Structure 1
């Protein structure tokens, strides 16, 4: 069996603090594998660590320079990207980003109905809408033009100057269409299969131009919905359809984390 990707544990931390924040629950101090895990969570949520109630212990062997840099980026809003630094960050950052982008097995997430789908520039929005609305409820739609800052927030662990430049150029090239979703059935547990199925139906594309961005995990879904549509839409859908099982999901996320 393929081991879960490194990213899954960091995504569990994002889900843990995001849902705890939404329901006003206490967030316990977490021991992270890398200081950049904490930065990624705060940057995805665009919320400083103190506002998330996120207190961090340095994992034994963690790079002191990275810990200081990541902490400085996350202590006040807006949470900043390492690109904003006047001094180049430690090479540990690229090593961490490669771990985040590495392949791994699927994660058995607890089901979350609230989600979002973004049709990328040049994508077939009517075909994506038809595929989504066949089994799931589209509750809102908006069209917007992304900025480079938006692209960073969607993919903060993208690495390599050439790749990042191509990603920015593509994602900001024309308007995107965004759908707020209520997922049903297996898709609420594993939205990745729904995303890959729609991409397969539409066939053409590459690693960038593949029609559809759709988050694979609960924390990513909640952050992307707030980012791409609005916090009000996110809070309304979550409160109506997912709040009732929040404690169960939070307990599952905690099982993945190290509280020392």
Structure 2
């Protein structure tokens, strides 16, 4: 049985996805973002490294990390420092800190209702192994413009970066076996101004229509704009993300509106926060 966790709560999912949005938007505009506040929880910092695909030492702000659990600090820093960042594994004999962190983090964003969802036209659909891909793709084409498509087989490491906050040794192993069991189709999609929100709701409609199960659920679509950008970079490639962002999301007003929305989440008071030493860039 896991030893009790000793780390206090980290950021909720809304704040973490907002921080992710700030970092990715700034990167895509070649304007490094220095966050005025920075998570001090080691697994929050690791999650940002995983979702940006960037070693923690190269992210543009740092602050002292919590030291309540030296093992977690060391494991999170080791994995977050790799290129690309890696998963520590789901050994349930270790301390419970990461499981407790993941449980709280995922629960705080259940259903996506509290997540930052500023307008963004880009999103992604992942048609999973064994899904009715032709029928799903036809339904998606009825609602979105398909900007890019590729068929490939996922690796276990990519699955870990897609869902870094998943937990439970048995569940994670079963999910990874499913996602790596055959080819997937990765679709980069363009939709209306709130394409991500629309796509998330459509995902649930399509899963129901095609009798998806709790694990073998046919279709992944992100539930917030920041992770939509992260998913495109991970699954379709950073060059593809840069190209479609430049073409469809580069409008200054929309970019500034998204950044302002994300900052309202990141800069609010909450647990697990330290002020960064530097001010944010332009």
TM interval, shorter chain, is: 0.7 to 0.9
In structure 1, list runs of 5 or more residues that go unmatched: none
* 1:135-192 superposed Cα distances (whole Å, 9 cap, x missing partner): 2100111111111112111111111111111111111111111111112154344532
Q: Report Cα offsets for 1:190-247 as digits up to 9, x if no partner.
A: 5321221222222x12222111011111221111111111211111111111121222
Q: Deviations over 1:95-137 (max 9, x none)?
A: 0111133235613510111111011111111121111111210
Instruction: With the length of structure 1 as denominator, give the TM-score of the two structures.
Output: 0.87
In structure 1, the residue matched to 2:123 is 115
Match 1:168 to one of 165, 172, 176: 176
Taking structure 2 as the reference length, the TM-score comes to 0.81
Partner Cα distance (1:183, 1:109) in 2: 14
Residue 142 of structure 1 contacts residue 179 of structure 1 at CA under 8 Å; is this kept in 2? yes
Structure-2 change in CA distance of 1:21 and 1:171 (3 Å): same
1-side partners of 2:242 and 2:93: how far apart?
37
- CA 63–143 in structure 1, closer or farther in 2 if over 3 Å, else same: same
Q: Distance in 1 between matches of 2:149 and 2:89?
A: 31
1:110/1:22 CA distance change after superposition, 3 Å? same
- Residue 257 of structure 1 pairs with residue 266 of structure 2: yes
Flag the 1:71–1:190 CA change in 2: closer, same or farther, 3 A. farther
Which has the larger helix fraction?
1
Equivalent in the alignment of 1:223 = 230
Return the alpha-carbon distance in structure 1 between the equivalents of residues 165 and 35 of structure 2.
25
Write out aligned runs for 1:1-260 (5 A): 6-25=12-31, 26-32=33-39, 34-58=41-65, 63=69, 65-83=71-89, 90-102=95-107, 103=110, 106=113, 107-202=115-210, 204-244=211-251, 245-258=254-267, 260=275
2:278 is matched with which residue?
none
The answer to whether the Cα contact below 8 Å between 2:116 and 2:261 also exists between their aligned partners in 1 is no
Name the SS of the counterpart of 1:243 in structure 2. coil
Give the whole-Å Cα distance in 2 for the aligned partners of 1:223 and 1:118: 13
Q: Give 1:11 shift.
A: 1.3
- The answer (yes or no) to whether the contact 2:153–2:182 under 8 Å persists in 1 is yes
CA distance in 1, matches of 2:37, 2:195: 29
2 CA distance for matches of 1:191 and 1:63?
A: 39
Q: Matched residue of 1:141: which SS? A: strand
Cα shift at 1:20: 1.4
Is the CA contact 1:143–1:177 (under 8 Å) kept in the aligned structure 2? yes
